[in-house]
Amino acid sequence: MRNEPHLAPRAANHRPLSPLDFLDRALAVHPGRRAVIWRGQSWSYEGFGAIVARMAAWLAERGVGAGDVVSVMVPNRPEMLAAHYAVPLLGAVLNTINTRLDAEVVAYILGHSESRLLLADATCAGVAQQAASAAGVPAAILAEPGEGAGKLDLLSGPAPALPDMLARLSDEWQPICLNYTSGTTGHPKGVVYHHRGAYLNALGNLTALGFTRETVYLWTLPMFHCNGWCHTWAVTAAGGTHLCLDRVEPAEIFARIAAHGVTHMACAPVVLYMLLNHPERPARDPSAPRVTVASGGAAPSPALIAGLEEMGFEFVHLYGLTESFGPATICAPDAAEVPETEIKAARLARQGSRHVTGSRVAVLDASGAALPADGVSVGEIVLTGNTLMAGYYRDPEATEAAFAGGVFHTGDLATRHPNGEIEIRDRAKDIIISGGENISSLEVENALHRHPAVLLAAVVAMPHPKWGEAPCAFIELKPGAAATAEELQLFCRDHLAHYKVPRRFLFRELPRTATGKIQKFVLRGIARDAADGEA
């Protein structure tokens, strides 16, 4: 067939892909449908559109325009959700900042991103203002409901008409967000998202998790984390309801689920363990409509799966990175395939296969060759596709390294099973090499999670004078439970090869990121100090 000029895209048949279209459609098709609930208040999509319009107008009055970066350091409240639409509709770039970072890191992000201004709320005001002052960036603090003058109120008052949502979008490759990875060494890197990838991953998550107009999505996952795995846009695309939760508190989660008929939520596994061990758990009616819980970052234990089943929660395992717009794969086997809890837990420990719009997934050896799908061979997970970042902002060297060989290198080590599903064995940096033998920290952690007294386990390498490295286990016990190092060591010997058994057990509360992930870089430092103390 000839490539004739008159068949080229034109204004009538080509519109750049952008998640802004989801709100545009919602306002046109179902403006009266419930969109947002927060602290006893609710807004229809029309009312939410007014919040977006107020924010966009306020930003425009301060000169924010195409290409400008707007930083937002706010927990899960309506203004944070609105920023995902108000900022990009001006052609600007949204930079959501982890609310638990210290002023020094926030100041670095503001400076590196060349941010025009910082928007924060009362819970972050001290750090935000200190960081903004250091970076020379103006800061504004959101008003609390009913608060008087002096703060920025975007939830009430007259609202201007919303401009054309896509009027400032010239290219779907245009940046929509700038997300800084939580740097474990050195400064965090700025991951640039484009409108195209955000649109596609939002639709992929909508399909994978089954969002519909009946969805009531409880925001336990921070919106600042990969833009809430793109669910800030996906729930809107479905016409569902965003139920905002300022902070993760098990009692509040149970109360919101009961009061509002929550259908979906997402969080790190540590939050699920908190729910299982909370006094409010017995009050949860397991016969109530099931709640789909999406999680990632650690493999679920049989005890976790069994506990969630008892509460009427359906667990879905996701895998992804900041660089892949959040979820890239999903593991959600049919109940008929895995009827027994032990079998189901083993299957759900896998990261699964790509969802409908997710990146293609391969597992390669060191030479770049694909490994057989035998469930044994281990190599690096690499991704290709439309839901990958444009690159790292102001860091061409790191960008080229990440995309070396025409693929995106995740740094995660996995095997591929015969059915095509991947299963992570470890992060490349988390592999423990003891006496020349590779030890998967995940394998040791999974063994420890079988012990009835263990709430959370994290295993890292500690220096060893003879073997080079040895496993060191950090243990957080369940409330009221007790266990000794000797007991856990004997338990591990029943479930692991001898050389994989931790040489040291340290009992303490595990350090976590704002999204609930264990900060292993902190634990590595503690393990090094402990080894030095023994020397």
The domain in which residue 65 lies consists of: 37-170
Instruction: Residue 159: give its domain's CATH number.
Output: 3.40.50.980
User: How many angstroms separate the CA atoms of 53 and 86, rounded?
Assistant: 7
Closest to 231 measured CA to CA, from 263, 257, 189, 192:
263
Q: What pLDDT does 184 receive? A: 42
Closest to 66 measured CA to CA, from 159, 176, 160, 227:
176
Is there a contact between 245 and 252 (Cβ–Cβ < 8 Å)? yes
Q: To which residue do tokens 């909508």 refer?
A: 206
Instruction: Residue 384: give its domain's CATH number.
Output: 2.30.38.10
Q: Is residue 99 part of a domain?
A: yes
Q: To which residue do tokens 């063994």 refer?
A: 447
Residues 368 and 483 in one domain: no
Q: What pLDDT does 185 receive? A: 46
Residues 45 and 156 in one domain: yes
Quick: pLDDT tens for 448-467. Answer: 998 999 999 999 999 887 78
What is residue 268's three-state secondary structure?
coil
Residues 98 and 110 in one domain: yes
Residues 423 and 494 in one domain: no
Q: Is residue 384 part of a domain?
A: yes
User: How many angstroms separate the CA atoms of 314 and 341, rounded?
Assistant: 12
Q: Is residue 78 part of a domain?
A: yes
Cβ-based neighbour number of residue 267 at 10 Å? 23
Q: What pLDDT does 514 receive? A: 62
Residues 437 and 513 in one domain: yes
Q: Is residue 407 part of a domain?
A: yes
Residues 483 and 522 in one domain: yes
Q: Is residue 64 part of a domain?
A: yes
Give me the DSSP letters along 139-206: EEEBPPTT--TTSB--SSS--PPPPPTTTT---TTSEEEEEE---SSSSPPEEEEEHHHHHHHHHHHH
Residues 81 and 144 in one domain: yes
Q: Which helix (H) or strand (E) holds 75?
A: none
Domain boundary at 407, 427, 447, which? 427
pTM, full prediction: 0.87
Block means of pLDDT (10 residues each) for the chain, 535 residues, are 91 95 98 97 98 98 97 98 98 95 92 98 96 98 84 94 94 97 71 98 97 98 95 98 94 94 92 86 84 84 81 92 95 76 81 94 94 94 97 97 96 93 83 78 88 93 84 94 94 88 94 76 89 70
Q: Is residue 196 part of a domain?
A: no
Domain boundary at 132, 154, 170, which? 170
Q: Is residue 102 part of a domain?
A: yes
Task: Find the radius of gyration of the CA atoms of the chain.
Answer: 24
The domain tally of the chain equals: 3
Quick: pLDDT tens for 269-295. Answer: 878 888 988 888 888 887 889 999 999
Q: Is residue 218 part of a domain?
A: no
Q: What pLDDT does 534 receive? A: 67
